[in-house]
Amino acid sequence: MSSAATPEPQLPLRYRREETASSPGVNALPREPKRVLVLGATSGIAEATCRLWAERGDSLFLVGRSADKLAAVAADLRTRGAGYVDTAVADLDQTASHPELLTHAVNSLGGLDIAFLALGVLGDAPESERSFAEAGRILHTNFNAPVSLLTWLANYCAQRHQGTLAVLSSVAGERGRKSNYVYGSSKAGLSTFVDGLRNRIDREGVRVMTIKPGPVKTAMTEGMKGRAKFADVDAVAATLVSEIDKGTAIVYVPAKWRVIMAVIRMIPDRVFKKLNL
Ligand SMILES: NC(=O)c1ccc[n+]([C@@H]2O[C@H](COP(=O)([O-])OP(=O)(O)OC[C@H]3O[C@@H](n4cnc5c(N)ncnc54)[C@H](OP(=O)(O)O)[C@@H]3O)[C@@H](O)[C@H]2O)c1
């Protein structure tokens, strides 16, 4: 009996999947694993994002300053299916060591598709109002160190005409608030640097992304007032994986923060200075 006449079983419409780049059909080429460098890999947001990259088989090079935390993250990502995991313990405040560290990382990965910058400190806001030592520490980790990393990474990617540089800045950089203007100004500087870098090297085929999260439930926001309403880190990570694949220039996450910040930017100064924000 010929089987040629046997029709393919048809799934009910609601179970059929459209063929897209992220759900290729049987005849499509398998997706190439991405080579991802994560700077500040023990960050809550980075960890959650790496879990999703690991689950789709991507290769990861993780940099963090705590050897124990880094080893635990790496072990978890290997069990989740990462194609390759390597690590380096480094205090990223040490900018002089960045070129050697980054060279080692891209050699280990065999190239670079995505660099994800997640390092950052909230710092002690009241102390930063009193002492430049604390203000300078916040500015160094949140601005100087990323600028040093991005300068090397941008030139590496521009020479090869490929790669995505995804940088965690913050909505806090959009308007100086009385409660955390030192942290906010470090992120304002970072956002402006990243925006300008994008305008320099987008034409070279390098995607540069300014990512602006609103408050997220991670170690950074532990104990903060109203934390129950902060964004879930896994939901934030899912948005980031998708937006990084697209190379979206400016990402607010959750998306509602684009609107909230547009409103906050419009509040007149005479009103804003009286608010307890
Ligand atoms: N959570 C939020 O509400 C929020 C909102 C907007 C933007 N962001 C930004 O998102 C990024 C990730 O934050 P998160 O929420 O995931 O907070 P987190 O869990 O506290 O992560 C911050 C990470 O930065 C690392 N780090 C700090 N200084 C470093 C240094 N000198 N060298 C190497 N690593 C260093 C920390 O390492 P250790 O693990 O060793 O401390 C930690 O892994 C930060 O840039 C933050 O400013 C967060």
Q: Encode the chain (277 residues) as per-residue pLDDT tens digits.
A: 344 443 433 333 333 333 334 444 445 667 899 999 999 999 999 999 999 999 999 999 999 999 999 999 999 999 999 999 999 999 999 999 999 999 999 999 999 999 999 999 999 999 999 999 999 999 999 999 999 999 999 999 999 999 999 999 999 999 999 999 999 999 999 999 999 999 999 999 999 999 999 999 999 999 999 999 999 999 999 999 999 999 999 999 999 999 999 999 999 999 999 998 8
Backbone φ, ψ for residue 253 (5° rounding): -140, 125
Does residue 19 lie in a domain region?
Answer: no
Q: Identify which of 199, 115, 189, 195 has the alpha carbon closest to the alpha carbon of residue 152.
A: 115
Give the total number of structural domains in the chain.
1
Atom of ligand 1 nearest to the CA of 187: 47
Does residue 22 lie in a domain region?
Answer: no
Q: Domain span at residue 83?
A: 31-272
Does residue 261 lie in a domain region?
Answer: yes
Pocket of ligand 1 (CB under 6 A): 40, 42-45, 64-66, 69, 91-93, 118-121, 141, 168, 170, 213, 215-216, 218-221
Q: What tokens appear for 212 in the block? A: 């602006």
Element (H, E) at 271: helix 269-272
Ligand 1 pocket: which of 101, 119, 229 to mutate (most atoms within 8 A of CB): 119
Element (H, E) at 235: helix 233-246
Does residue 198 lie in a domain region?
Answer: yes
Backbone φ, ψ for residue 239 (5° rounding): -65, -45
Interval between CA 187 and ligand 1 midpoint (Å): 12
In the residue annotation, 84 being an active-site residue is answered as no
Does residue 24 lie in a domain region?
Answer: no
Number of H helices, E strands in the chain: 10, 7
Q: Please state the pTM of the whole predicted model.
A: 0.91
